[in-house]
Amino acid sequence: MKRGIDFFALALALIVAALPSYMLRFTVGPIPTNVFEVGVGIVFVWWLARRPPVREALAYFRPLTIPLILIAIGLVVGVVRAPDIQDALGFVKSFFVVPIVLALMLSSVISERQMRERIARAFIFGAFIVVFEAAAAWVFRSGVSEDARLIGLFTHPNYLGMFVAPFIPLFVWGRFSRPFRIIASVLAILVLIATLSRAALVAAAIGTLAVPLIQSAPKRRGLWWAAGLASLALLALIVFIAIGARSDTSDSIRREIWRTTAEILRANPIWGVGLSGFQTVFTDLTSERVNFLAYISPVALTPHNLFLAAWIQMGIFGFVGFIALTWQTLRHLYLQSSVVWTGAFFGAFVVILAYGMLDTPYFKNDLAVIWWIVTAFALTKADA
């Protein structure tokens, strides 16, 4: 029996390490999917065949009952109102069903300290491979956009930034040897600088500094606050000086997207516009406005804010559910911040939330999975 459990845990570790394999896409009949999703499906069938303690695994997710019910209502409404039903169903599959199934399987093994270590290390090592490839792409100029920003394996610099940023607290505070932590952290920071993503850099700094702040004794927290604020101020100054050349254009586009999003929400405050429908509605609304069709609508894939994206796609029910989901995950990470690995995952989640004020680090295959892996670590009580 022990042997079977070990092989299953190894399969889960390989799955979380192979998260970037979602970029290898194909279709099964009319259904679009990818290598990562197929891997999760195979391991899920194996998990069910082993007759796992499903009730015990579900018990870990009991705090999410109401948030998930509200999100489910929002998803149903979003599918009904979506401009393309097939795209909307793919949205539900990739951003909720697959990540939640994976989190449920993880919760059945990571309560054991050894398995928690194994899964966390595999997850972080898989991210390190992405960072290493991106650094090599920068050196050899093989993964660079037309405007000289690093993209690595991805199609846009911001996608690389959103993937790498949450892992910096995990590289810095994870349970690895010091040489690995230094190499991984430095490479990841250099990769973020090469993306020219100010939001990624600032969010990564906030999340990384949050870890010692919550884990330090009360008497030392004031010192950490002062050091953290000073570091953030210095980082902000460096970032805005270093990549200020693109600040005006990027910021003005984001402001226009937010203004238009507010217009759309005023017209659809309860039900939203449907899943995967934001850009369509945005383009229709602004088609006669100067410069929108040429410069703004093509990049308005999302509202550039995590919670606005939840509201506009899943309506008020999904929005409230997503807020409650966020709160429960953050709360449980904080309560378990002294437990092995959880403090580092707290930092990663803070990065996601900080980044979420300026972009949408959830509604993308890899980002949704990262969110739910963090949630699994937050909710699962670990052995001492």
> Using an 8 Å Cβ cutoff, are 278 and 256 in contact?
no
Per-residue model confidence (pLDDT) at position 4: 46
**pLDDT of 381 above 90:** no
CA-CA distance, 155 to 248, in Å (whole number)? 23
CA-CA distance, 326 to 287, in Å (whole number)? 35
> Using an 8 Å Cβ cutoff, are 376 and 110 in contact?
yes
**pLDDT of 364 above 50:** yes
Residue predicted with more confidence, 91 or 214: 91
Per-residue model confidence (pLDDT) at position 296: 87
Of 329, 369, 358, residue with least CA distance to 345: 329
Residue predicted with more confidence, 331 or 246: 331
Per-residue model confidence (pLDDT) at position 124: 96
**pLDDT of 183 above 70:** yes
51: pLDDT confidence band, cut at 50, 70 and 90? confident
Q: Which residues contact 11 (CB under 8 A, 6 or more apart)?
A: 43, 46
Of 213, 239, 208, residue with least CA distance to 226: 213
Domain boundary assignment for the chain: 2-249+296-379
Tokens of 333: 């990470």
Per-residue model confidence (pLDDT) at position 244: 56
Q: What is the mean pLDDT of residues 117-136?
A: 96
Please name the helix (run of DSSP H) or strand (run of DSSP E) that holds residue 308, with its range, or none. Answer: helix 306-335
Range of lowest pLDDT (54-68, 149-163, 219-233):
219-233
Per-residue model confidence (pLDDT) at position 338: 75
Tokens of 99: 């990540």
* Percent over 90 (pLDDT), the chain: 64
242: pLDDT confidence band, cut at 50, 70 and 90? low
pTM of the model: 0.92
Q: What is the mean pLDDT of residues 53-58?
A: 79
Which tens digits make up the pLDDT trace of 3-45? 445 788 899 999 999 999 999 999 988 889 999 999 999 999 9
Per-residue model confidence (pLDDT) at position 13: 95
Which tens digits make up the pLDDT trace of 140-162? 988 898 888 999 999 999 999 99
Of 182, 173, 176, 255, residue with least CA distance to 214: 173
Which tens digits make up the pLDDT trace of 185-225? 999 999 999 998 888 998 999 999 888 888 766 655 665 66
Q: What is the mean pLDDT of residues 235-244?
A: 60
Per-residue model confidence (pLDDT) at position 1: 39
55: pLDDT confidence band, cut at 50, 70 and 90? confident
311: pLDDT confidence band, cut at 50, 70 and 90? very high
> Using an 8 Å Cβ cutoff, are 380 and 106 in contact?
yes
CA-CA distance, 210 to 173, in Å (whole number)? 11
Per-residue model confidence (pLDDT) at position 2: 46
E strands present in 110-173: none
Q: What is the mean pLDDT of residues 267-277?
A: 93
CA-CA distance, 228 to 243, in Å (whole number)? 22
**pLDDT of 175 above 80:** yes
DSSP secondary structure, 198-212, as one string: HHHHHHHHHHHHHHH
Range of lowest pLDDT (109-118, 289-298, 345-354):
289-298
245: pLDDT confidence band, cut at 50, 70 and 90? low
